[in-house]
C-alpha cells in the first residue's frame, strides 16, 4: 500500500475511535516516506486534546509562512486595487485578525477610505491591527453582535477567510444584515471540493492536501503541524471541536443570492495547498 492509502485508512480508524489502529497504520506510512505520517505519529503519541489555538506561535508560523505568503500578497494587492477603483468613503472589515490582509492593502492603495471600521473578536489581535491603522474605529465583537448594534452602512465591506468560522445558519443572518447596508461586499474564501464527510474519497483528499501543506513549512513543519494543522485535521475527521464550515465557491454564491445580493461574481485569487482561493464579489 502507498503512504496515501495507509494514511487514508489511518484517518478512517481514527474516525471510528480506534487510535491504536490509526497509530499502527501511521507508522507504516512513515516508513513509506510520508512527512505527514511522521508528524501524525508524534501527535497521536501525545495528548491531542488541546484546543486548535493553544499554541499561538504555531498559528503565527502557519499564517505568515508557507503558501500563505503568496496568498496574502495577492489578496492585499487585489483589495488595494478595488479601493482605488471604487474609492469608497467607508470600509468595514469583518474578522480582520491582526490586519494581515487589510493593513498591506491600505498601505498599497492610493485611496484611503475616510471611515474604516475593523471588527475582530480577539482583543489581542485587534490591538495589533489598531496600532497599524490608528485612524480606524476598532470593535472587539463578533460579526453577529456588531451588526445587531446599529444601522451603519458601508460602501465597501470585506471579510477574508473569516465568515467560514460562523456556523451556516448564523452566517445567513450576517449576510442578510449586510445586504441592505453594503455597497460592495468582497469575500476571500476557499473553493473547497465537496465530499460526503468521512467517506474514503474525503479522507484521501484530506491526506493528499495536508501532505502538501505540511511540506511547505520546511524547518517550521513540526511547529505548524503539531500546534495547528493536525488539531484542525483530526477535528475535521472526528467531527468534534469543529471551527470551520467551508463550501465550494458555488455554495457561497448561492448563500449570497439567498441573502438578497443580486450581482455575485467569483474570480480566482491564488493556488493554495488546501484548495484554490477565490474572491467572491456581491452587490
The pLDDT value given to residue 165 = 92
Tell me the percentage of the chain whose pLDDT exceeds 90.
Answer: 86
* Burial (CB count within 10 angstroms: exposed 0-12, middle 13-18, buried 19+), residue 120: buried
Structure confidence at residue 32 as a pLDDT band (50, 70, 90) = confident
- Alpha-carbon span 24 to 84, nearest angstrom: 55
Average pLDDT across the chain, whole number: 93
> Do the beta carbons of residue 215 and residue 35 sit within 8 Å?
yes
Task: Output the nine-digit C-alpha cell for 192.
Answer: 473547497
Ranking 84-88, 175-179, 238-242, 277-281 by mean pLDDT, the lowest is: 238-242
The pLDDT value given to residue 146 = 96
- Alpha-carbon span 190 to 193, nearest angstrom: 9
- What value does the mean pLDDT take over residues 193-207? 95
pLDDT 10s digits, 100-110: 999 999 999 99
Structure confidence at residue 239 as a pLDDT band (50, 70, 90) = confident
Of the candidates 276, 206, 214, the residue with the CA atom closest to the CA atom of residue 239: 206
Q: What is the pTM of this model?
A: 0.91
Torsion of CA 250, 252, 258, 261, to 10 degrees: -100
Ranking 51-55, 86-90, 93-97, 173-177 by mean pLDDT, the lowest is: 51-55
Q: Which residue has the higher pLDDT, 32 or 207?
A: 207
Structure confidence at residue 53 as a pLDDT band (50, 70, 90) = very low
- Alpha-carbon span 9 to 105, nearest angstrom: 43
Number of CB atoms found within 10 A of residue 157's CB: 22
Host H or E run for residue 33: none
- Phi first, then psi, for residue 166 (nearest 5°) are -105, 130
The pLDDT value given to residue 278 = 98
Q: Is the pLDDT of residue 51 over 90?
A: no
Of the candidates 71, 119, 75, 66, the residue with the CA atom closest to the CA atom of residue 97: 119
Superfamily of domain 65-190+245-280: Vaccinia Virus protein VP39 (3.40.50.150)
- Alpha-carbon span 6 to 66, nearest angstrom: 26
- Alpha-carbon span 274 to 254, nearest angstrom: 22
Q: Is the pLDDT of residue 121 over 70?
A: yes
Q: Is the pLDDT of residue 40 over 50?
A: yes
**Stretch(es) of the chain classified as CATH 3.40.50.150:** 65-190+245-280
Of the candidates 209, 232, 227, the residue with the CA atom closest to the CA atom of residue 46: 227
The pLDDT value given to residue 192 = 96
Task: Output the nine-digit C-alpha cell for 273.
Answer: 495547498
Q: Is the pLDDT of residue 236 over 50?
A: yes
Structure confidence at residue 247 as a pLDDT band (50, 70, 90) = very high
Q: Is the pLDDT of residue 52 over 60?
A: no
- Alpha-carbon span 51 to 81, nearest angstrom: 37
The pLDDT value given to residue 124 = 87
Amino acid at each position: 500500500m502507498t503512504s496515501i492509502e495507509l494514511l487514508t485508512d489511518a484517518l478512517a480508524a481514527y474516525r471510528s475511535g480506534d487510535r491504536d489502529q490509526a497509530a499502527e497504520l501511521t507508522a507504516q506510512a512513515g516508513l513509506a516516506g510520508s512527512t505527514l505520517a511522521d508528524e501524525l505519529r508524534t501527535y497521536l503519541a501525545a495528548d491531542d486534546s488541546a484546543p486548535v489555538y493553544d499554541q499561538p506561535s504555531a498559528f503565527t508560523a502557519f499564517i505568515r509562512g508557507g503558501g500563505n505568503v503568496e496568498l496574502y500578497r495577492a489578496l492585499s494587492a487585489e483589495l488595494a486595487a478595488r479601493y482605488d477603483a471604487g474609492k469608497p468613503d467607508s470600509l468595514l472589515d469583518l474578522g480582520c485578525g491582526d490586519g494581515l490582509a487589510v493593513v498591506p492593502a491600505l498601505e498599497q492603495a492610493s485611496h484611503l477610505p475616510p471611515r474604516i471600521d475593523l471588527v475582530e473578536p480577539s482583543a489581542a489581535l485587534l490591538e495589533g491591527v489598531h496600532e497599524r491603522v490608528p485612524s480606524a474605529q476598532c470593535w472587539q465583537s463578533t460579526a453577529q453582535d456588531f451588526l445587531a448594534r446599529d444601522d451603519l452602512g458601508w460602501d465597501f465591506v470585506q471579510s477574508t477567510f473569516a465568515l467560514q468560522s460562523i456556523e451556516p445558519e448564523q452566517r445567513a443572518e450576517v449576510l442578510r444584515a449586510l445586504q441592505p447596508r453594503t455597497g460592495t461586499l468582497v469575500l476571500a474564501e476557499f473553493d473547497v471540493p465537496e465530499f460526503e464527510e468521512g467517506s474514503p474519497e474525503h479522507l484521501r483528499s484530506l491526506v493528499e492536501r495536508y501532505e502538501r501543506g505540511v511540506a511547505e513549512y520546511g524547518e517550521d513543519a513540526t511547529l505548524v503541524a503539531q500546534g495547528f494543522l493536525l488539531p484542525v485535521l483530526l477535528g475535521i475527521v472526528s467531527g468534534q471541536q469543529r471551527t470551520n464550515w467551508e463550501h465550494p465557491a458555488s455554495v457561497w454564491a448561492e448563500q449570497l443570492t439567498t441573502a438578497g445580493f443580486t450581482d455575485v461574481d467569483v474570480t480566482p485569487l491564488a493556488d493554495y495547498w488546501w484548495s484554490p482561493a477565490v474572491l467572491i464579489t456581491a452587490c
